[in-house]
């Protein structure tokens, strides 16, 4: 008898799960139906700021696979413009709403890949035209359309995290005056304050006006269109507003179906991506992850994790065996020529997790100092006192700086100490690194600090 798999969500996690299940089970054995409430599937949400900035020429360039590929090549019944509004785990069915009707669809296996939802401020004026989130491909298209139709002069970006930085650059590239607002005293609050100060300095060098430590209180509008941002420190004129306040797991469907949701708001899953309900799986930004350093639950919205989790769920549904063990919190971002990266725990996060820490900060260059276009790079290493266990790293620099975080992420994944890291066999040639790579310099300084203490 043919089994029926229903997938809720048509982006990274959902379609990865559907594709992996199909590779292992034929249409005669497994019937797959995928519901996507929007009009795009399998696209790079992380590429939206670069589409707006002009680095990506065409919307289609962000689409990994078109709907026809899933339907015709993989025999997946992909239904766009169809939103699942309820899950009934007892009756084994979902309720679907499209443009013309509401109906029920049965399932034997279910994948919940509802993603994250943007945090929108509950303040006066938040519905004014010209206030944009950055969550879906349609959001990016709307921002480009607004820039083209209204030719704004002043942009205010609310939120100084990864998306805030990237959208600030996009607005700079369109020639707008950019103001960045955040309630924290530093941009990139996932960094330690000293590294956040370097990011603030880089923003100011690019001409961004910083309004840090200011609470958003509302928006002003003229004829229904946004004209100002009101903060605890006053009014900022605005012709367009970009919201970069981050996302939270979209777990409402699961919670309403009595599927367990964790303290982060994400759906609880095991290493195989199984939820608390029999035959129900979850993957992507809607789930709760285990941080492998702190051993605490975290909600991390990244396409890398979503694809891996969806792949694991699909392999298991297809009869194979796969796990997603957790995350270490690796992320990178950029603002024009400035690059920012982090992995593991910040000092505050490490101490909250019960570690006693020390840290070192080193300055070096991305290439041999004598080589043309060598750029400055600042590296911070956070480690545990007495053991020297590496707990986290942060990097701020220019071209060639950020991707060095990957070496730190691998060291973190394998539980290395700073002493062990000093012997890493990292590549060297003058166009790519000094003879002592910045990572090795930081590790050596941390090991010397530990030995001296």
Tell me the catalytic residues: 46
Euclidean distance between CA atoms 174 and 194, whole angstroms: 30
DSSP-H helix ranges across 127-161: 137-150
- Structure tokens that stand for 282 in this block: 């979850």
C-alpha distances (whole Å) from 327 to each of 222, 297, 403, 404 are 45, 10, 17, 18
Cβ contact 389:415 at 8 Å: yes
- β-pairing, 390-397 with 338-344? antiparallel
C-alpha 20: how far from chain center? 23
Cβ contact 340:334 at 8 Å: yes
- Structure tokens that stand for 173 in this block: 């590239």
Euclidean distance between CA atoms 320 and 317, whole angstroms: 7
- β-pairing, 131-132 with 240-243? parallel
Residue among 110, 115, 91, 32 at smallest CA distance from 280:
110
- Structure tokens that stand for 403 in this block: 């991707």
Three-state SS at 168 = helix
- β-pairing, 390-397 with 376-384? antiparallel
Residue whose entry in the numeric block shows the structure tokens 């979503």: 306
Three-state SS at 185 = coil
| Residue 180: exposure state from Cβ atoms within 10 A (0-12, 13-18, ≥19) | buried
Q: Residue 219: beta bridge partners?
A: 229
Residues with Cβ within 8 Å of residue 63, at least 6 apart in sequence: 40, 41, 42, 43, 137
- Structure tokens that stand for 105 in this block: 């669809």
């Amino acid at each position: 008898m043919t089994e029926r798999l229903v997938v809720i969500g048509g982006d990274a996690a959902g379609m990865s799960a559907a594709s992996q299940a199909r590779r292992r089970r034929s249409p005669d054995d497994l019937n797959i139906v995928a519901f996507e409430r929007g009009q795009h599937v399998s696209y790079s949400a992380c590429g939206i700021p670069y589409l707006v900035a002009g680095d990506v020429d065409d919307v289609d360039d962000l689409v990994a696979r078109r709907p026809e590929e899933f339907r015709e090549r993989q025999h997946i019944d992909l239904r766009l413009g169809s939103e699942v509004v309820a899950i009934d785990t007892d009756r084994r069915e979902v309720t679907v709403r499209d443009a013309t009707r509401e109906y029920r669809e049965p399932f034997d296996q279910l994948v919940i890949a509802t993603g994250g939802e943007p945090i929108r401020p509950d303040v006066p004026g938040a519905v004014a035209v010209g206030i944009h989130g950055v969550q879906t491909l349609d959001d990016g298209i709307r921002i480009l359309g607004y820039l083209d139709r209204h030719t704004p002069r002043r942009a205010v970006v609310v939120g100084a995290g990864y998306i805030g930085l990237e959208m600030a650059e996009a607005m700079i590239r369109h020639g707008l005056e950019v103001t960045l607002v955040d309630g924290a005293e530093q941009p990139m609050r996932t960094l330690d304050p000293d590294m956040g100060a370097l990011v603030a300095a880089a923003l100011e060098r690019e001409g961004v006006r910083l309004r840090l430590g200011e609470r958003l209180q509302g928006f002003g509008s003229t004829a229904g269109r946004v004209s100002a941002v009101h903060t605890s420190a006053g009014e900022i004129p605005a012709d367009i507003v970009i919201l970069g306040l981050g996302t939270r797991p979209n777990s409402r469907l699961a919670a309403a179906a009595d599927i367990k949701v964790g303290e982060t708001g994400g759906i609880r899953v095991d290493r195989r991506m199984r939820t608390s309900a029999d035959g129900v799986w979850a993957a992507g930004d809607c789930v709760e992850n285990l941080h492998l350093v702190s051993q605490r639950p975290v909600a991390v919205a990244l396409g890398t994790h979503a694809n891996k989790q969806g792949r694991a769920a699909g392999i298991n549904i297809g009869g194979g065996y796969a796990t997603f063990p957790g995350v270490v919190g690796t992320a990178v971002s950029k603002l024009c020529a400035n690059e920012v990266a982090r992995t593991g725990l910040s000092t505050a996060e490490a101490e909250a997790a019960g570690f006693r820490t020390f840290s070192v900060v080193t300055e070096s260059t991305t290439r041999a100092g004598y080589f043309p276009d060598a750029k400055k790079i600042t590296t911070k290493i956070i480690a545990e006192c007495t053991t020297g266990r590496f707990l986290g790293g942060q990097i701020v620099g220019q071209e060639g700086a950020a991707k060095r975080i990957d070496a730190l992420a691998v060291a973190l994944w394998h539980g290395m100490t700073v002493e062990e890291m000093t012997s890493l066999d990292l590549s060297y040639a003058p166009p790519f690194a000094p003879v002592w790579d910045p990572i090795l310099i930081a590790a050596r300084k941390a090991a010397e600090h530990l030995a001296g203490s």
